[in-house]
Amino acid sequence: MCGIVGYVGEERAAPILLEGLQRLEYRGYDSAGIAVLREGQLAVVRRKGRVKGLGAARSLEGEIGVGHTRWATHGAPSERNAHPHVYGGVCIVHNGIIENAAALRAACEARGEVFSSDTDSEVIAHLIAAEKGDLLHATYSACRKLAGSYAVAVLSAAEPDTIVCARRASPLVVGCDERGLYVASDIPAVAAAGRKVYALADGEFAVLRKGSPPRFFDGALKAVGKQEIVYDAAEDIPAKGGFRHYMKKEISEVPEAVSRSLCDLSKGEFSDLCEVLCHTQYLHIVACGTAYHSGLCLQYAAQKFARIPAEAFIASEYRYSDPIVPPGTLAVAVSQSGETADTLAAAALAKERGAKVLAVTNVPCSSLERMSDFVLPTRAGREIAVAATKSFNAQLAALYSLAGALARGRERAAPPLAAAASCVREALAAAEQVRGWIPYFLGARSVFFLGRGADYFAALEGSLKLKEISYLPSEGYPAGELKHGTLALVDGRTPVVAIVTDPALADKTMNAVHEVYARGAAVFLITSVPACLPCAEVTASVLLPKCAPAYSPMLTSLPLQLLAYYVAIARGNDPDKPRNLAKSVTVE
Ligand code: F6R
């Protein structure tokens, strides 16, 4: 999704900006640009497509500039709509969505101003250019007119040694070292040995002026002090390590991701959280996409093992659902990136209504971590491929650990999690068999994934993975629900993947297998119940090691991830950078 970088200091800005943009590339974008200011002149280079298309910008002279990678929301992906946008000597890069852009633009146009893009963002440059006072005050006044979300970095020909930054509901961090001052939309783009990094809080502003330390201001423009963020400067984009794609590499890292993310919550560092768990009456789990699916798995495990009422919510729905948050609610916000706008907003709403917030995230110092009362880290390591894989399994390891701690707090027991985790490597090896299934999926019209109980959540995740990287329509469905309408879609061109890991429910799910087979579907089985095999109605199967059924998505997700991966590459798609998608969804 959109990324911001900015620099002012002693060095040439262009190479620093381009390097920062490269570090943001993995997030997904469709155009890029930089602007450099020199002797009162703004030089802007923008391109549709990749950052490497900005090569011509490397030679720009000037020690101050801003750069951007854009993921289109308002206006097509094109050079015209790429940032930076310039109006009246003011240059901006913007992440977020300006919800009242149409009305603001109409007012500017009524004054005779001409727009040069179709974006919602350009209006910010117009508003700032129309304000009086220095760049900080002009930016402040302009921001007060904006509805929606923004992280913005602003240059002005009138103040050639200053970048002004502002944020609301979209992350922004500032860095400084002896070479100069930096701004970026996330820590990896500014991380460097010896560089101090500070995060802007919601509603704050920052002024980066050459030769001075960064200054920060609250929403009333009162100067505020800032704590430095402690981060891992060594963390950089990992190499592919001999793999063709990051996605395959990241799937191969699942066993380590799981074992590192198992967590003993009785240990000292979690004592405050444990105290809260003992008094927790309800769980509200908020998350999006894959993280929502791991949230469903927590809902299931917490109810089953701790007998605590738990509900997983899609964060974008929760935030507008006027939720009832009873006393004693713990809100568990699950997010790989810790920057997903909807998850942040849902967690903030739960907090506002009295819940304690527990962040379950893979990125230390992320916005989610900073706004939460407690943190349960997932330790999957940096995930680069847009499709979440190892982070899902790591979330499950952490969330099942949480379910176990909740159960113990109620003098109940959960099945041993370590035993399930120890099967992950064996499951990964078995999962490779799905490669032989590919020919059945290439010409499919759509694909169904079926399961019951925890297998249903795995089915949802398998379907999402297939959709996002193979672009095949698919649905994850509760096995028992198919016959209530959707069975009408099943025919010889709809392969069905059935997931069966709970011996108590196996016969029930196998009934659905009989039903879809009878309608001509080729059936593929992912199971840990040997009694389901052999079955004449099953075209091919993967037999996984047995584990407690509630924990099985930690294993069944592996053949599902690999199936999506192999189908995607067989269809000629780049599984690391699926069309239209971004790694970190920082807009609503
Ligand atoms: C799917 C995927 C997305 C993310 C979702 C939430 O493979 O990656 O569905 O899971 O955008 O992202 P995070 O976990 O960063 O909040």
Taking only the tens place, the pLDDT of each residue in 554-586 is 999 999 999 999 999 999 999 998 988 877 787
Higher pLDDT, 170 or 396: 396
Across the range 113-136, mean pLDDT stands at 96
Position 138 pLDDT exceeds 80: yes
Longest dimension (CA), the chain: 78
pLDDT of residue 585: 81
Cα separation, 316 vs 331, in Å, equals: 15
Position 236 pLDDT exceeds 70: no
3-state secondary structure of 405: helix
Ligand 1 test: best mutation among 340, 389, 563, most atoms within 8 Å of CB?
Answer: 340
In ligand 1, which atom is closest to the CA atom of 361?
Answer: 14
Position 1 pLDDT exceeds 80: no
- Quote the pTM value: 0.87
The answer to whether the CB of 294 is under 6 A from ligand 1 is no
Residue 422: how many other CB atoms lie within 10 Å: 15
The answer to whether the CB of 495 is under 6 A from ligand 1 is no
Q: Tens digit of pLDDT for each residue in 300-341?
A: 999 999 999 999 999 999 999 999 999 999 999 999 999 999
pLDDT of residue 239: 81
- CATH fold, domain 3-236, is Glutamine Phosphoribosylpyrophosphate, subunit 1, domain 1 (3.60.20)
pLDDT of residue 233: 66
What is the 289 CA–ligand 1 centroid distance (Å)?
A: 5
3-state secondary structure of 139: helix
- Domain limits, CATH 3.40.50.10490, in the chain: 242-414, 426-574
- Cβ within 8 Å of residue 556, ≥6 positions away: 455, 458, 462, 499, 501, 526, 544
- Cβ within 8 Å of residue 321, ≥6 positions away: 313
Angle at 351 between CA 345 and CA 355, to 5 degrees: 135
**Which residue's CA lies nearest to atom 11 of ligand 1?**
289
Mean confidence (pLDDT) of the chain = 94
- Domain limits, CATH 3.60.20.10, in the chain: 3-236
CATH number of 426-574: 3.40.50.10490
Superfamily designation of domain 242-414: Glucose-6-phosphate isomerase like protein; domain 1 (3.40.50.10490)
Position 234 pLDDT exceeds 70: no
Ligand 1 test: best mutation among 585, 586, 587, most atoms within 8 Å of CB?
Answer: 585
Strand-pair category, 64-70 with 150-156: unpaired
pLDDT of residue 192: 84
Catalytic positions: 2, 583
Q: Tens digit of pLDDT for each residue in 285-311?
A: 999 999 999 999 999 999 999 999 999
Cα separation, 294 vs 300, in Å, equals: 10
- 391 conformational bin, left if phi > 0, alpha if psi -120 to 50, beta if neither: alpha
